[in-house]
Amino acid sequence: MRKDFSCQPSKLILSWLLRCWDIGASSQELESKEAWQLGCLARDKAIDKVIGKREGVLSLWRQLLLSVKDRYPFKEELANSQSKWTTIEGGIQYLRELAMVEVIYNNLDDNQASKDPDEIRCMQSMW
């Protein structure tokens, strides 16, 4: 799991989270001790330090979202600057990264709020 879910060097946090979502972090249920034993997934000490600190069984996805939100408590700190893209795939990736910001700053304790970046409603920042 550590190999699959580790952030690649020079990857942005939002791109890394999307990759984790795409490869199934939401289906990996872990006790806090198991999540903590995964070690340095984000390659960011402040994020990695809180992965696994929450008690109980949570999905790896939820652990990652909560840890990133702890590291970046304000949306503006994490939001991407507008990047240039020249392909449809690049544009889709950028929109998904904007949606990821919305997922992180939704109420993560609300079970009705979507944790899927592909289901987020189009927000003003996306327009």
Q: What are the pLDDT digits (tens) for 28-79?
A: 999 988 988 888 899 999 999 988 888 889 899 999 999 999 999 998 888 6
Question: Is residue 63 included in any domain, yes or no?
Answer: yes
% of the chain at pLDDT higher than 70: 93
How many folded domains does the chain comprise?
A: 1
At 58, phi and psi to the nearest 5? Answer: -135, 155
At residue 80, the pLDDT reads 60
113, pLDDT greater than 80 = no
95, pLDDT greater than 70 = yes
Q: Scanning the structure block, which residue is given the tokens 């409603």?
A: 121
Question: Is residue 90 included in any domain, yes or no?
Answer: yes
81, pLDDT greater than 70 = no
For residue 83, name the pLDDT band (cuts at 50, 70, 90): low
Question: Is residue 14 included in any domain, yes or no?
Answer: yes
Chain mean pLDDT for the chain? 86
% of the chain at pLDDT higher than 90: 37
Question: Is residue 53 included in any domain, yes or no?
Answer: yes
Question: Is residue 21 included in any domain, yes or no?
Answer: yes
82, pLDDT greater than 70 = no
Question: Is residue 33 included in any domain, yes or no?
Answer: yes
**Residue 68's domain spans which residues?**
2-119
Question: Is residue 126 included in any domain, yes or no?
Answer: no
Q: Quick one: average pLDDT of 94-119?
A: 82
104: left (phi over 0), alpha (psi -120 to 50) or beta: alpha
In angstroms, the Cα distances linking 103 to 14, 33, 40, 75 are: 11, 25, 22, 11
Question: Is residue 127 included in any domain, yes or no?
Answer: no
